[in-house]
């Protein structure tokens, strides 16, 4: 019993310490943005890696999420005589929740793991120490381009995921289920407004920053050897994914309070 309590206490302390370290890294990133010159070529490289190379993954995620969701909603709504409600439900769900959350989780798995592995490898091979020896601040050179590129790319990827989901839902509703697409298009436009669009893009922006910060932190804090790189990569994906899911709950309440 005592061992369980001790382990729980140690995990709680590690969690609080990790949150504090990520917050300090965020503040250090903001300070570096204003103190050092922006390395545009590094940001462009990260934009290509994060944005362009994630298009296929995000598009496929949006397509099949919208398709499955439209099918399930229609299968249930047809018994209630609510065929006209499928479009608004799918559209609102994609804009407000499914689009930004699933897009962020997929990017965390593809990009977050790569960020953590790259920075962890640089740490154990003493490349970060070499940067310091060359009078290059590691946060400014390694973290700022990744966070900034993620903040730019994630709203765009989120918009792509939402668009593909809505289009796929329309295709399933009209071509596979065989319903009139007028209902889907008309009621989707009636019940969706700029607040729904803003909510999805704002969530994508902040989720991108969360994923980038946690992934960079886990990479910079990795242990030594191949095991350290492996643990850092795994922790980056798991912790950033959980952080997105937890943050989504609070962002939902806050954004509904401000945008409604």
Position 162 scores a pLDDT of 93
Q: Are 64 and 168 in contact (CB under 8 A)?
A: yes
SS3 track for 172-205: HHHHHCCCCHHHHHHHHHHHCCHHHHHHHHHHHH
Neighbours of 33 (CB within 10 A): 14
Position 5 scores a pLDDT of 65
Mean pLDDT over each residue of the chain, to the nearest integer: 86
Position 220 scores a pLDDT of 87
Give the position of tokens 């545009």. Answer: 40
Position 147 scores a pLDDT of 93
Reduced to 3 states (helix: H, G, I; strand: E, B; else coil), residue 215 is helix
Q: What is the DSSP letter of 54?
A: G
**How is residue 145 written in tokens?**
């381009």
Structural domains counted in the chain: 1
Report the number of secondary-structure helices (H) and strands (E) in the chain. Answer: 12, 0
Q: Is residue 210 over pLDDT 90?
A: yes
CA dist., res. 57 & res. 90, Å (int): 20
5 or 253: which leads in pLDDT: 253
Residue 81 — pLDDT band, cuts 50, 70, 90? low
Of 146, 148, 163, 147, whose CA–CA distance to 55 is shortest?
Answer: 163
Q: Are 103 and 111 in contact (CB under 8 A)?
A: no
Question: What is the arithmetic mean of pLDDT over 115-136?
Answer: 88
Q: What is the DSSP letter of 36?
A: S
CA dist., res. 260 & res. 195, Å (int): 7
* Percent of the chain residues topping a pLDDT of 90: 42
Q: Is residue 198 over pLDDT 70?
A: yes
CA dist., res. 210 & res. 129, Å (int): 26
Q: Is residue 246 over pLDDT 90?
A: yes
| pTM of the predicted structure, to 2 decimals | 0.90
Position 65 scores a pLDDT of 92
- Give me the domain span that covers residue 149: 2-259
Q: Is residue 228 over pLDDT 90?
A: no
Q: What is the DSSP letter of 134?
A: T
Residue 39 — pLDDT band, cuts 50, 70, 90? confident
Q: % helix / strand / coil in the chain, to the nearest 5? A: 90, 0, 10
Angle, helices 225-259/99-107, rounded to nearest 10 degrees: 160
Position 4 scores a pLDDT of 67
Position 134 scores a pLDDT of 86
Residue 10 — pLDDT band, cuts 50, 70, 90? low
Position 163 scores a pLDDT of 93
């Amino acid at each position: 019993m005592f061992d369980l309590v001790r382990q729980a206490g140690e995990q709680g302390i590690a969690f609080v310490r990790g949150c504090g370290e990520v917050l300090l890294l965020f503040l250090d990133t903001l300070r570096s943005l204003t103190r050092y010159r922006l390395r545009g070529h590094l940001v462009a490289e990260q934009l290509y890696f994060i944005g362009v190379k994630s298009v296929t993954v995000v598009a496929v995620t949006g397509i099949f999420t919208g398709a499955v969701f439209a099918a399930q909603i229609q299968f249930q709504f047809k018994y209630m005589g609510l065929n006209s409600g499928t479009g608004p439900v799918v559209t609102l769900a994609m804009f407000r929740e499914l689009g930004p959350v699933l897009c962020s989780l997929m990017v965390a798995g593809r990009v977050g793991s790569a960020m953590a592995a790259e920075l962890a490898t640089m740490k154990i091979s003493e490349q970060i120490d070499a940067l310091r020896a060359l009078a290059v601040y590691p946060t400014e050179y390694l973290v700022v381009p990744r966070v900034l590129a993620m903040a730019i790319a994630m709203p765009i990827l989120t918009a792509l995921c939402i668009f593909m989901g809505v289009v796929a839902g329309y295709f399933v509703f009209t071509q596979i289920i065989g319903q009139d697409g007028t209902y889907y298009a008309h009621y989707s436009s009636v019940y969706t407004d700029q607040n729904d669009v803003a909510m999805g893009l704002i969530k994508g922006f902040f989720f991108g920053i969360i994923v980038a910060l946690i992934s960079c932190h886990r990479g910079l804090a990795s242990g030594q050897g191949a095991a350290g790189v492996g643990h850092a990569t795994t922790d980056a994906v798991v912790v950033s994914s959980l952080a997105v899911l937890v943050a989504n709950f609070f962002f939902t309440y806050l954004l509904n309070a401000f945008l409604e």
